[in-house]
Amino acid sequence: MERVVERMWSEHGHRVELVEGYRTQARQDHLYAQGRTRAGNVVTWTRNSAHTRGHAVDVKVNGGWTDTEAFKRLQVIANEEGLRTLGMRDAGHMELPRTVAAANPFTPDIPPVATTTASAPADEGGEGRSADRQARAAHTPFPHPAAVGSSLNGGA
């Protein structure tokens, strides 16, 4: 993902921000229930997500989700860098190809993360997902943006 972030900035001037990486199965189930058995729009179509194996990330581009052309560029670059994307049905999703993921099993070994921001429905244990996402993402095979240096994304 680091190369995708670097190339999006250097080639197109687009800032890529990690939103979520690793998810617990409880978190995935919570998201799956949204729009089905609890209020809200449907946000996932599966309970068997690459996120629960630490092999996927969700990102936003230029601070949001609406720049269609930027997301198309993101997907081209991600594919060129060997990542799998889901097209415009989930424009900000990138994951390891299944063959690579199978060779790199992931076992989370991180404690629950205390958060100060609850910008979305809570994860198990009542945690908000914003800071939880960032902390857990730092432990996935994909580097957290803070881990790749402040020179990326224009110093953001």
Residues 32-60 pLDDT 10s: 999 999 999 999 999 999 999 999 999 99
Lowest mean pLDDT among 58-62, 81-85, 98-102, 109-113: 109-113
Helix (H, G, I), strand (E, B) or coil at 50: helix
Percent of all residues in the chain with a pLDDT value above 70, rounded to a whole number:
68
CA 150 to chain CA mean position, Å: 19
pTM of the model: 0.68
Q: What are phi and psi of 106, to 5 degrees?
A: -120, 130
Residue boundaries of the structural domains of the chain: 2-155
pLDDT at 126 over 50: no
**Three state DSSP letters for 101-153:** HHHCCCCCCCCCCCCCCCCCCCCHHHCCHHHHHHHHHCCCCCCCHHHHCCCHH
Determine the pLDDT at residue 109. 63
Please state which CATH number belongs to domain 2-155.
3.30.1380.10
Q: Where does residue 135 fall: left (phi above 0), alpha (psi -120 to 50 degrees), or beta otherwise?
A: alpha
